[in-house]
Structure 1
Amino acid sequence: MLYTTNEDVPGIIGLLGNTMGKSGVNIANFTLGRADVGGEAIALLYVDNPIPADVLKTLDGTGMFSQVKPLEFDVA
């Protein structure tokens, strides 16, 4: 799973989708949220496999995100 925060601006969904697709990461579910137009927004991407470190670095390096955090839950 990937958690990101960003300013609510156009292009974020495309950036996330394109970056994941180019890296072979399949998105199973994509959830977005914001409190106010133009305010802070969050995205949760549920993916089939762990996200490679270079993909996280690429996203973080765009300057479009306040936070880029991989999340893993042990549900055993």
Structure 2
Amino acid sequence: GVYTAPGPADLTHEWAYLPDFAVGFVGLAKNLDKTGSFEAINFPGHAITDLDMKAAAEKALGRKLKLSFMPWWV
């Protein structure tokens, strides 16, 4: 198996569980009348590196994964 990192594997990146992220945006959409024209909306995610994510995937799978990287033009 291969783990493909979207950028430098040792760089901390924010990750979010997509269903939680979707619930947050549905809640935001239901409350647009309470926001201004320009708002900074933050979503608390998990700040880890791709090396951390790869290690967690390897632990869950019970085997090592090869590390590869997305092409720069993607």
Question: TM-score surpassing 0.5?
Answer: no
Q: TM-score, normalised by structure 2?
A: 0.25
Which is greater in Rg? 2
Q: TM-score, normalised by structure 1?
A: 0.25
Task: Considering Cα pairs closer than 8 Å and 6+ residues apart, tell me whether 1 or 2 has the greater RCO.
Answer: 2
Structure (1 or 2) with the greater helix fraction: 2
